[in-house]
């Protein structure tokens, strides 16, 4: 291969690799853009009844981070005003104002995309302290109970504290008076607050969290748990059971740091409930939402920024080079005979509207009718341009007749024949006639069959939605396709069909 072609191929492949690497590593694009994510519909509904002139309702709302994306939020506030507040890591929705004595309904809905493999492990906040409600004597008691575990590794300390939450304090067990005192602490402060104090006593960083478990259903009150830092990652523990859960994607946090996920001032809440429903969302919608919310340069210039009515066109247009590459491979490597170079690609594009079966039938019917008329016209001895004009008129007349028949019998595919490339069909009829006259009927039918076969293969490629999405998300892949086309253009060896065609000569050596 000559050097200019080699350098061009390397440049095209390097260009594609650079863009793919940047998107996947720095922008966090998926390696396989069709990989699905779990999408959940979160709903919160409640009725607010005032007991004072002013009322205020605060609920914890889900936040975005590396493993979770908010695709859509909808809020209904009625006569109340709504504000979105940030308090440290918490994202709070606040309904406030004056309402009538009759109950007022408030709602919150969000669509959440959960990506389990993308959860990050942020470092815990510095200066972890005992819960504010814990007195000095209670802190000393927690220190005395946790003293035995302080020299253990972080995972071992976590396991020991989790076992203590279930009532298993190990051997030797603490003194009875300490256990009775700790039971009184749990009764006074609650199991979650007491558990946080014990975690602090053994030297682990922890955070109290309220939220929901990601499973379909309706919940009257949020779930409380503790997230503990082991030095490498956060572990989730349910204080009521002491169970350790290592799958953060199974939970939806709403409030951190002891902040309640739901509170009301100046009134009462009734019929408050959260509901979670898992949804199926198309891969196109998932990537559309992700890129639309990004302000990165390549995302701002993404094809997803095009108006929706034009995106459908480019989904197909980006795969036309693949179709052209396939035609080159089938012609130059395999030896498929076709009418022209791009006729199969144009036919494949038209088949998307007519359907494969109807499209092939219409192609064969128009080709045979055109051949019959062209054979009769040969007696008239017309010049080339007028003859082609007559055939073009015949093709248009066939399309019009098929559309009228389709309208009468209710077959939409017949009415879509206008999208077939009528100029290409006109040229194909002429070439089909000339080929039969020069090489015989067998060769003409063989070339027509080869063209139809390549059109079917190309149709399958450009209609494959995962490939459409891949090229739509990574349009730089067409540079790699061009590189393969250049390599194919430098191939001068035997075609596969010639190996079989000349097998007699090979066997005679």
Could you say which DSSP state residue 314 is in?
Answer: H
The dihedrals phi and psi of 273, each to the nearest 5 degrees, come to -160, 150
CA distance 458 to 446: 18
Token pair 């709602």 is found at: 107
Residues whose CB is less than 8 angstroms from the CB of residue 257 and which lie 6 or more positions away in sequence, other chains included? 88, 89, 90, 207, 208
Query: How do 38-50 and 104-114 pair as beta strands?
Result: antiparallel
350 prior amide bond cis, ω within 30:
no
Residues of CATH 3.10.620.30 domain(s) within the chain?
Answer: 136-258
Q: What is the pLDDT of residues 40-58, one digit of tens each?
A: 889 999 888 877 778 888 9
CA distance 390 to 407: 26
DSSP assignment of 99-125 equals: --SS-EEEEEEEEEEE-GGG---PPPP
Check residue 118 and give its pLDDT: 46
Six token digits for residue 69: 């994306």
Q: What is the pLDDT of residues 125-157, one digit of tens each?
A: 544 677 777 888 888 888 888 888 888 888 888
3-state secondary structure of 82: strand
Check residue 128 and give its pLDDT: 61
- pTM of the full structure: 0.59
**Residues of the chain below pLDDT 50:** 118-121, 126-127
Question: Can you point out the beta strands (E) in 232-266?
Answer: 234-238, 243-245, 251-256, 262-265
Token pair 């210039």 is found at: 301
Which top CATH class is 136-258?
alpha beta
């Amino acid at each position: 291969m000559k050097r200019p072609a080699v350098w061009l191929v390397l440049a095209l492949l390097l260009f594609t690799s650079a863009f793919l690497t940047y998107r996947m590593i720095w922008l966090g694009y998926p390696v396989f853009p069709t990989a699905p994510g779990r999408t959940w519909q979160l709903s919160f509904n409640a009725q607010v009844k005032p007991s004072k002139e002013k009322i205020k309702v605060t609920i914890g709302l889900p936040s975005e981070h590396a493993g979770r994306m908010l695709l859509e939020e909808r809020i209904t506030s009625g006569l109340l005003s709504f504000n979105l507040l940030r308090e440290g890591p918490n994202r709070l929705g606040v309904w406030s104002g004056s309402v009538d004595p009759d109950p007022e309904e408030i709602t919150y809905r969000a669509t959440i995309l959960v990506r389990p493999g993308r959860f990050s492990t942020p470092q815990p906040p510095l200066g972890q302290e005992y819960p504010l409600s814990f007195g000095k004597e209670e802190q000393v008691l927690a220190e005395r109970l946790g003293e035995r575990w302080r020299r253990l590794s972080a995972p071992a300390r976590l396991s020991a504290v989790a076992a203590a939450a279930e009532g298993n304090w190990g051997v030797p067990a603490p003194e009875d008076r300490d256990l009775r005192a700790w039971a009184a602490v749990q009764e006074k402060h609650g199991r979650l607050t007491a558990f946080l104090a014990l975690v602090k006593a053994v030297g682990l960083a922890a955070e109290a969290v309220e939220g929901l478990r990601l499973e379909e259903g309706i919940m009257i009150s949020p779930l409380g748990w503790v997230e503990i830092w082991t030095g490498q990652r956060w572990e989730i523990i349910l204080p009521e059971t002491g169970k350790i859960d290592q799958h953060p994607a199974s939970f939806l946090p709403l409030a951190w740091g002891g902040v309640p996920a739901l509170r009301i001032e100046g009134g009462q809440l009734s019929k408050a409930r959260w509901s979670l429903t898992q949804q199926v969302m198309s891969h196109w919608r998932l990537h559309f939402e992700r890129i639309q919310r990004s302000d990165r340069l390549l995302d701002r210039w993404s094809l997803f920024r095009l108006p929706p009515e034009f995106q459908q066109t480019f989904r197909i247009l980006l795969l036309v080079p693949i179709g052209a590459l396939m035609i080159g491979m089938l012609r130059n490597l395999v030896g498929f005979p076709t009418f022209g170079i791009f006729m199969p690609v144009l036919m494949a594009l038209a088949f998307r509207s007519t359907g494969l079966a109807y499209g092939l039938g219409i192609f064969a019917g128009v080709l045979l009718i055109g051949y019959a008329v062209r054979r009769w016209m040969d007696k008239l001895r017309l010049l080339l341009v007028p003859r082609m004009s007559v055939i073009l008129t015949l093709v248009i007349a066939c399309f019009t007749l098929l559309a009228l028949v389709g309208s009468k019998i209710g077959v939409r595919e017949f009415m879509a024949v206008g999208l077939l490339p009528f100029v290409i069909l006109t040229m194909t009829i002429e070439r089909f006639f000339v080929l039969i006259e020069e090489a015989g009927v067998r060769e003409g039918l063989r070339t027509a069959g080869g063209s139809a076969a390549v059109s079917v293969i190309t149709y399958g490629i450009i209609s494959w939605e995962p490939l459409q999405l891949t090229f739509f998300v990574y349009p730089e892949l067409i540079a790699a396709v061009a590189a393969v086309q250049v390599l194919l253009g430098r191939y001068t060896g035997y075609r596969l069909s010639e190996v079989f065609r000349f097998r007699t000569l090979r066997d005679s050596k």
